[in-house]
Amino acid sequence: MKNTTKIIAACAVFAGATGVFAQTMQREPLQNVAQLSASGSVEVQQDLLSITMNTTRDGSDANTVQTQLKQALDTALAEAKKAALPGQLDVRTGNFSLYPRYGKDGKINGWQGSTELVLEGKDFARITSTAGKIQTLTLGHVGFALSREQRAKVEGEAQAQAIERFKAKASEIAKNFGFGSYTLREVAVNANDQGHTPRPRMMAMQAKAEMSDAPISVEAGKSTVLVNVSGSVQMK
Kindly report the CATH number assigned to the domain that includes residue 101.
3.30.70.2970
Digit-by-digit pLDDT tens for the chain (236 residues) are: 545 444 444 444 444 545 544 454 455 667 899 999 999 999 999 999 999 999 999 999 999 999 999 999 999 999 999 999 999 999 999 999 999 999 888 899 999 999 999 999 999 999 999 999 999 999 999 999 999 899 988 999 999 999 999 999 999 999 999 999 999 999 999 988 766 544 444 443 434 444 456 666 777 888 899 999 999 999 99
Alpha helices in 28-146 (DSSP H): 62-81, 124-133
- Same domain for 217 and 139, yes or no, is no
Q: Note the pTM of the prediction, 2 decimals.
A: 0.69
Pair 79, 59: CB distance under 8 Å = no
**Residue 136 domain boundaries:** 48-145
Identify the three-state secondary structure at position 62: helix
| Phi and psi angles of residue 162, each rounded to the nearest 5 degrees, phi first | -65, -40
CA angle, 178 then 179 then 181, to 5°: 150
Look at residues 89, 120, 145 and tell me which one is the last residue of a structural domain: 145
- Same domain for 40 and 52, yes or no, is no
Residue 112 placed within a domain: yes
Residue 205 placed within a domain: yes
Look at residues 125, 145, 165 and tell me which one is the last residue of a structural domain: 145
- Same domain for 61 and 79, yes or no, is yes
Q: How far apart are CA 142 and CA 202, in angstroms?
A: 9
